[in-house]
Structure 1
């Protein structure tokens, strides 16, 4: 699939979608698809589930549509890397038989064919996390979140691509190769949930579960033009994380910063999946339940909205600045109170704390020899050495971690003070639209360009990492396009456990923003 072919098709639609009053052509297309059973796979997850429950289509028929689309579309994108058609067809037939015999669906995701990120252990299905060491790993137990999907009646058809052990913000690995951005194959799909985001964008799956430590869920969503929710995390996550690799296969613990969350083509579909996966870990279910607060508001005019459009610490490009200005105008025009001057935290201090905590938690799976070498190297470094932050954070003593954790709680308190006066905060999702694919270049040599300025490769995740150290919920949603047809996105951050309010805000914003532009592969 050549770059100019992809861009020409995307840009044709982009021209019509660049103004706030543009009719939502994508919504109209999906509405027609719900009336056309042969194209139902392109509809929202909610529409597909309704058709399945009402008998307009069987689970087997819908699965066959998805598999046919996969055969035409996936080879050029490489989003889905493992496919188990026999098991999927058997599960679909079982779902159809159950509905015919009982008149009741298996659960809220009855018969819906979906893919699962290759970092989530899936019983009986190859799960590699992109690592050659796990190339033959077939788990005998589902990750907790995969078990929730199955219990809800979902049909798991295959696994989506990730960087090796999820340790990159672009998606490529030695087993399966590179996942391409469905809008432009010279651009990255992001990482580590690049395969999941590309699969949803291209119509290969209506829903996905991604994982997010350093923007791994939301950056790919921004680059691929879909919605993603980083769910709230306090002492425990609201979506169970056991069975997520790169914690070693079979480990019962996970990072104290990682969250799992839904990826979808609409905000409404985020709700569909959140209802299923927001649940206590199995050991806690006898006494605990997750009861997220209902959305606070029904209209955009009711919100007190903060807007943080740019910052010297992580400058955004002109297209992103223009996007944030347009969003602020639309929110004001809808009657909301907008504050574009207050800041909840110091960006630089927050980012440094995030890096320290991330490097510390990532060291858990290092081998004894590798960790010993890191300790020796860290002890030899001066505090102002360029490598000191990484190595000294990775090898910090427990006392130092406890102090850093106290800093995290203090940072949470600052965010709580901010959200006492604001309901949501809108920021950029990334400094730019999807950047050039650089998976063939060693990471230390990679960089991004922002308005002609060469910048750190890891600046891509600066904005999404604001929510990371403090466990706040955060949505990335498509909000416009560049002149070349690439998606542009915004981020919405809210107070702890305001996940449903954020989804409601995304729905209300979607009604006044340009309609998302689907990639050419979606309509293949």
Structure 2
């Protein structure tokens, strides 16, 4: 019998529907894989609760009462999302014993669609690093090379999906936190249109808060675009406890590859990419052109540096909500002592952390104007393709980034994905190829607001074309 754990989620669900395997059996196959791995991707489990949920799903299916699009499918959840009765730490020592009594909204939606939660995946403390490592659980290893990083902060989810420990995971993305690990681990990762998937119950904010960051977006990771579509369906269907009176019907692409207009923003001097990444984009362009798509290069709809500066201002602002009064006062005092001509990273950090509400409102207006600039691009093109990152996965624990031997800012790793992080556009990382060392290289595909399913359609067609090309 085919090892179903190595199959994508939609194939596993089909096997469940055909009664070729039970949810309990499928769960145990995945738990066996988790037991056998040394990647340290899944850090918290409750096997008894998961088996009970799987048994209940099997009973529903036997009665012909499957409850949703994921019924009986075992999945994992990033440890930043609160899960009722299952420890949620967000990688932080002070939350080592935190067991929520309520699911995060996104988790509740997945359960409502029948998903079986089999464990929590690793994240840096409070999701605040580009490596996935913490004092509670230690580092998560990259399935392609344990000496390389999985990225962060959704590194546990990406590694678990890539290593077939789970068919899918719920991650989160504020500053590339989902898309960078997807790129480094060679899986698909979708940051949905901001606001489609509620973020209440994501830590940080502190446990119990009803609000969340105006930039953080929950999103799925999986090994096939069709799986992301299933997860997106579940994540955009309100659970009964929400009392939400609407449902979402997102558009699809509705035309063949030969009728697609695809823009490519392949390079920018403010965030250069290495030669293997550039070659991956060139290969993708060749494949699309051969299939009849209209492919055009663009310098981008916005200036890279302007977008990055605004992103940083809004990022530092949203991170201040939960600091204590003493820290906030100290930062305000330190900002007041800065010289007007001080443009150091510390000065930028302090000014943005202590900015007035008026300054934030003007930054929010600038964000709306940037979003309008992006919208103009999509009046002419269906999607925009960019690099996902300047390079493949860097060495684990490294605080340096080298691009073809040239040292760059460490945070350039997320420069390309953060073009959309503050704008809220749907953005998808698609695996394309591997380096000479066998490390994955992906690209980012961006669409207009609510074009999430358009991106997934394009990704599935790309996968077919790349297989034929290879």
Q: Please, what TM-score do these two structures have when normalized by structure 2?
A: 0.97
Tell me the alpha carbon deviations over residues 454-495 of structure 1, each in whole angstroms, 9 at most, x when there is no partner: 111100000000111111000001000000000000000111
Aligned to 2:446: 493
Aligned to 1:53: 17
Gaps of 5+ in 1: 1-35, 440-445, 518-524
Aligned to 2:70: 109
Aligned to 1:438: 397
Report whether the alignment pairs 1:450 with 2:403: yes
The answer to whether the 8 A contact 1:66-1:204 is kept is yes
SS at match of 2:24: helix
Paired residue for 1:219, among 180, 189, 200?
180
Name the CA shift for 1:198/1:385 in 2 (closer, same or farther; >3 Å). Answer: same
The answer to whether the 8 A contact 1:331-1:338 is kept is yes
Give the Cα separation in 2 of the matches to 1:371 and 1:113.
Answer: 42
The answer to whether the 8 A contact 1:356-1:393 is kept is yes
Residue 395 of structure 1 deviates from its aligned partner by: 1.2
Aligned to 2:29: 65
Aligned to 2:210: 252
Aligned to 2:231: 273
Aligned to 2:48: 86
Report whether the alignment pairs 1:197 with 2:158: yes
After superposition, residues 5-44 of structure 1 pair within 5 angstroms as 36=1, 39-44=3-8
Residue 298 of structure 1 deviates from its aligned partner by: 3.3
The answer to whether the 8 A contact 1:479-1:514 is kept is no
Greater alpha carbon shift after TM alignment, 161-170 vs 90-99: 90-99
Give the Cα separation in 1 of the matches to 2:232 and 2:376.
Answer: 27
Backbone CA RMSD of aligned residues: 1.6
Paired residue for 1:228, among 182, 185, 189?
189
Residue 374 of structure 1 deviates from its aligned partner by: 1.0
Aligned to 2:289: 332
Name the CA shift for 1:252/1:287 in 2 (closer, same or farther; >3 Å). Answer: same
Residue 285 of structure 1 deviates from its aligned partner by: 4.0
The answer to whether the 8 A contact 1:192-1:220 is kept is yes
The answer to whether the 8 A contact 1:292-1:500 is kept is yes
SS at match of 1:507: helix
After superposition, residues 460-471 of structure 1 pair within 5 angstroms as 460-471=413-424
Name the CA shift for 1:122/1:286 in 2 (closer, same or farther; >3 Å). Answer: closer
Residue 92 of structure 1 deviates from its aligned partner by: 1.2
Give the Cα separation in 2 of the matches to 1:202 and 1:196.
Answer: 10
Aligned to 2:105: 144
Gaps of 5+ in 2: none
Residue 70 of structure 1 deviates from its aligned partner by: 1.2
Give the Cα separation in 1 of the matches to 2:411 and 2:203.
Answer: 22
Name the CA shift for 1:91/1:497 in 2 (closer, same or farther; >3 Å). Answer: same
After superposition, residues 105-504 of structure 1 pair within 5 angstroms as 105-233=66-194, 237-279=195-237, 285-293=243-251, 295-383=252-340, 384-386=342-344, 387-438=346-397, 446-504=399-457
Residue 286 of structure 1 deviates from its aligned partner by: 4.0
Q: Please, what TM-score do these two structures have when normalized by structure 1?
A: 0.87
Residue 421 of structure 1 deviates from its aligned partner by: 1.1
Greater alpha carbon shift after TM alignment, 334-343 vs 143-152: 334-343
Give the Cα separation in 2 of the matches to 1:298 and 1:72.
Answer: 44
Number of residues of Structure 1 aligned to a counterpart in Structure 2: 468
Name the CA shift for 1:250/1:175 in 2 (closer, same or farther; >3 Å). Answer: same
